[in-house]
Chains A and B, each alone.
Chain A
Amino acid sequence: AQSVTQPDIHITVSEGASLELRCNYSYGATPYLFWYVQSPGQGLQLLLKYFSGDTLVQGIKGFEAEFKRSQSSFNLRKPSVHWSDAAEYFCAVYDQTGANNLFFGTGTRLTVIP
């Protein structure tokens, strides 16, 4: 069965520092993977997605993620964090068995300090 694990519940980084949020998935075939961001009081916004091809995926707001099949990971990165990046980040894997559903991780809350 598909599942997504985000091992870090809460991460704090200084503004301008680099960021990496971890995501591990469990899926038998080639997964379709997503990262979403949720600002306080807002809905979830798609940051980026991986379906196939280049394993390094660029997204909005300067984010990127790298698909590593050998590690079953899809970590989200940003070279320099801005205060406005403080939010909750969700990794998700698409159910390709016909259900057209996304399985979400439990989320990582990012705090940015000056």
Chain B
Amino acid sequence: DAGVIQSPRHEVTEMGQEVTLRCKPISGHDYLFWYRQTMMRGLELLIYFNNNVPIDDSGMPEDRFSAKMPNASFSTLKIQPSEPRDSAVYFCASSPAGELYFGPGTRLTVT
């Protein structure tokens, strides 16, 4: 298995632009998580899905953030409009239940 795949690996955008991050989980994993990592706040859980259904989105910072999982093999995290304080590394992780398997992350820079 190729593991959790995320794209793009790096994204640089201007404030106000829409940003879409993509994730392909490991096949067979029922859970998918989106995390954000910054120096100041560490790892933060944004949202997670079970069988494509959002279970807990209490970590989504604002309405500018939205996440979807249209099928078992794909999820997106969208920020619209983006702001400089959204600059961070965004990780997707999948899980069969228990341990999480992380993707390589998307480094987002909003200027």
Residues in chain A within 8 A of chain B (CB atoms): 32, 34, 36, 42-46, 49, 51, 90, 94, 99-102, 104, 106-107
Contact = CB atoms under 8 A, between A and B. Distances in A.
Nearest to B48: A101
B104 A42 contact: yes
B105 A107 contact: no
23 contacts: A42-B105, A43-B91, A43-B102, A43-B104, A44-B91, A44-B93, A44-B102, A46-B99, A46-B101, A49-B99, A94-B98, A94-B99, A99-B56, A100-B55, A100-B95, A100-B97, A101-B33, A101-B56, A102-B100, A104-B42, A106-B42, A107-B42, A107-B43
Given A43-B91, A44-B91, A99-B55, A104 B99 contact: no
Pick the most buried of A32, A90, A104: most chain B CB atoms within 10 A of its CB: A104
Interface in B55-109: 55-56, 91, 93, 95, 97-105
Contacts of A51: 98
Contacts of B48: 100-101
The B contact surface, by secondary structure, is strand
Contact of A100 (B31, B43, B104): B31
The 8 A-B residue pairs with the shortest CB-CB distance, nearest first, are A43-B102, A44-B102, A43-B104, A104-B43, A106-B42, A43-B105, A46-B99, A43-B103
Given A43-B105, A100-B31, A100-B50, 17 more contacts: A36-B102, A43-B4, A43-B91, A43-B102, A43-B104, A44-B91, A49-B98, A49-B99, A51-B98, A99-B56, A100-B55, A100-B95, A100-B97, A100-B98, A101-B45, A101-B56, A104-B43
